[in-house]
């Protein structure tokens, strides 16, 4: 068997066998198949697609390219969540301690941000001392003792995915639905998840720009999970405007802490409660979504979720004083307010443009290896549908380099579209995709 023959077969629109996919992934992981052949193979998949059976075989091949954690000795059922990425999406920081506070232990391996989409690890590392580079032994011990862990992806888990994603990022093959789906699910399987909730973003600030593509991705991932003997449910959530009001690492941690204290922006709080509710159902703490939502809301309101977050920060070496006093988190040298030059209803707040502005300020990476500034970012004063008077504040820009202010201000103004007529607020969710064997109800 040769790599070139497998590439040629896919280019000729043939369905690859499990043996061919295993051969290619194993050879690529070992370094026997060079990057240029893997890039050609990924491009063929990007252009010609994969069947569901091929995509499932690819997922399992990538999951089996390294270790697969067995969490059964620590937790009765391992439930995880995954977001396909967005602007202002600090959901993990609220959902995971909320779910843990309800009695369902949560172990999550997260990633870093690249481009306009922020990364959970970059955000949580705004807390001084917080360590994300846990060994697998430390990961398992903390899950056993604390019931909650948030760490970086181990190089020993799904290494084929790490190598392949690096190539996809520079070869224009990121958007392939089979490659996205297999990447996400292979990491969930490798990290020991038996059931997972998928937060599939759709809109201007998401990889999936329209609902049709987002639904296709969600259906693909749910089917892969089923064929891999796992359980999954996917929520299609809006990413046309930023989630919540904060965009930027320390700013988003502050907003998460406020939400854990029972406050926080309404859209972000409700988003977190729904994701948490589905996790609780997938973890079999209840079979009813509305009851699960009440459980999650109770954990937020009575302080148990905040206590779990504090325990997480303490266990991983972070300064717990930041939880009680978020003012201790990194702050920018200057905060500038951008005001409105007109009156009207906000019709659009382009999520990607806001995210790109945060990157311009230093809150994100344009390429791997760039240094993150945890203090900078943007706070929104309004959401789509709000009426704004002339002179009202639109954004607060947290900035450390004054020379960037003019460009950032201009980009933020370009993110807005206005209407003289009332505009309906954007929905939080567009639907739920689930396995036909599941009885979950939205």
41: domain CATH number is: 1.20.970.10
CATH number at residue 98: 3.40.1030.10
Q: Are both 203 and 250 inside the same structural domain? A: yes
CA dihedral of 109, 357, 370, 375, whole degrees rounded to 10? -70
Residues of the chain with pLDDT under 50: 440-442
Catalytic residue among 90, 112, 123, 168: 168
For the question of residue 168 being annotated catalytic, the response is yes
Q: Are both 206 and 250 inside the same structural domain? A: yes
Domains in the chain, number: 3
| Plot region of 109 (φ>0 → left; ψ -120 to 50 → alpha; else → beta) | beta
Phi and psi at 329, nearest 5°, equal -70, 160
Q: Are both 131 and 43 inside the same structural domain? A: no
Residue 412 has which token pair?
């933020």
Q: Are both 343 and 410 inside the same structural domain? A: yes
What range defines the domain where residue 388 resides? 331-419
| Plot region of 229 (φ>0 → left; ψ -120 to 50 → alpha; else → beta) | left
Q: Are both 385 and 358 inside the same structural domain? A: yes
Q: Could you tell me if residue 387 is inside a domain?
A: yes
For the question of residue 183 being annotated catalytic, the response is yes
Q: Could you tell me if residue 67 is inside a domain?
A: no
Catalytic residue among 39, 126, 176, 183: 183
Amino acid 367: pLDDT: 65
Q: Could you tell me if residue 59 is inside a domain?
A: no
For the question of residue 368 being annotated catalytic, the response is no
What element of type H or E holds 429?
strand 429-434
What element of type H or E holds 341?
none
For the question of residue 228 being annotated catalytic, the response is no
Query: Rounded CA gap, 181 and 158, in Å?
Result: 14
pLDDT digits (tens, 9 = 90+) for 169-227: 778 888 899 999 999 999 899 989 999 999 999 999 988 999 999 999 999 999 999 99
Q: Could you tell me if residue 98 is inside a domain?
A: yes
Contact status, residue 43 vs residue 173, Cβ threshold 8 Å? yes
Q: Are both 104 and 14 inside the same structural domain? A: no
Q: Could you tell me if residue 26 is inside a domain?
A: yes
417 contacts: CB under 8 Å, gap ≥ 6: 346, 347, 348, 350
Q: Are both 318 and 405 inside the same structural domain? A: no
Q: Are both 299 and 402 inside the same structural domain? A: no
Q: Are both 295 and 348 inside the same structural domain? A: no
For the question of residue 155 being annotated catalytic, the response is no
Q: Are both 251 and 338 inside the same structural domain? A: no
Instruction: Read off the DSSP letter of residue 176.
Output: -
Catalytic residue among 108, 123, 163, 187: 187
Q: Are both 189 and 243 inside the same structural domain? A: yes
pTM passes above 0.85:
yes
CATH number at residue 354: 3.90.1170.30
The sheet that has 195-202: what strands, in order across it? 79-83, 195-202, 231-238, 429-434
Catalytic residue among 161, 199, 238, 373: 161
Query: By CB neighbour count within 10 A (0-12 exposed, 13-18 middle, 19+ buried), where does 403 fall?
Result: exposed
193 contacts: CB under 8 Å, gap ≥ 6: 78, 79, 80, 230
Catalytic residue among 22, 57, 65, 82: 82
Q: Could you tell me if residue 130 is inside a domain?
A: yes
Q: Are both 152 and 179 inside the same structural domain? A: yes
């Amino acid at each position: 068997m040769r790599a070139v023959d497998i590439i040629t077969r896919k280019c000729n629109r043939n369905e690859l066998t499990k043996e061919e996919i295993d051969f290619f992934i194993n050879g690529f992981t070992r370094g026997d198949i060079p990057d240029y052949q893997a890039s050609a193979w990924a491009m063929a998949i990007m252009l010609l697609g994969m069947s569901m059976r091929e995509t499932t075989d690819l997922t399992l091949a990538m999951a089996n390219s390294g270790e697969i954690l067995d969490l059964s000795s620590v937790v009765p059922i391992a439930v995880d969540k995954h977001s396909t990425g967005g602007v202002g999406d600090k959901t993990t920081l609220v959902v995971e301690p909320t779910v843990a506070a309800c009695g369902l232990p949560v172990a999550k391996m997260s990633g870093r941000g690249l481009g306009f989409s922020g990364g959970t690890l970059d955000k949580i590392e705004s807390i001084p001392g917080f360590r994300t580079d846990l060994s697998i032994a430390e990961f398992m011990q903390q899950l056993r003792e604390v019931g909650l862990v948030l760490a970086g992806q181990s190089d020993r888990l799904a290494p084929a995915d790490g190598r392949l994603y690096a190539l996809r990022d520079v070869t224009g093959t990121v958007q392939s639905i089979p490659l996205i789906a297999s990447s996400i699910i292979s990491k969930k399987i490798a990290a020991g998840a038996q059931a997972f909730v998928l937060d599939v973003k759709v809109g201007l600030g998401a990889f999936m720009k329209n609902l049709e593509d987002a639904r296709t991705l969600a259906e693909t991932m749910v089917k892969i999970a089923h064929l891999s003997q796992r359980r999954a449910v996917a929520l299609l959530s809006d990413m046309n405007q930023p989630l919540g009001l904060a965009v930027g690492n320390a700013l988003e941690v502050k907003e998460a802490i406020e939400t854990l204290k029972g406050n926080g922006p309404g859209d972000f709080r409700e988003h977190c409660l729904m994701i948490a509710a589905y996790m609780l159902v997938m973890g079999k703490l209840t079979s009813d979504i509305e009851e699960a939502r009440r459980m999650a809301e109770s954990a937020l309101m009575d302080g148990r979720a905040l206590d779990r977050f504090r325990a997480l920060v303490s266990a991983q070496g972070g300064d717990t004083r930041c939880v009680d006093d978020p003012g201790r988190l990194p702050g920018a040298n200057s905060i500038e307010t951008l005001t409105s030059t007109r009156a009207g209803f906000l019709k659009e707040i382009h999520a990607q443009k806001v995210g790109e502005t945060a990157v311009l300020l230093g809150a994100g990476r344009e390429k791997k290896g760039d240094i993150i500034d945890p203090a900078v970012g943007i706070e929104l004063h309004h959401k789509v549908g709000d009426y704004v008077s002339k002179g009202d504040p639109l954004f607060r820009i947290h900035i450390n380099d004054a020379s960037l202010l003019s460009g950032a201000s201009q980009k933020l103004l370009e993110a807005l579209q206005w209407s003289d007529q009332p505009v309906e607020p954007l929905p939080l969710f567009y639907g739920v995709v689930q396995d036909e064997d599941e009885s979950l109800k939205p």
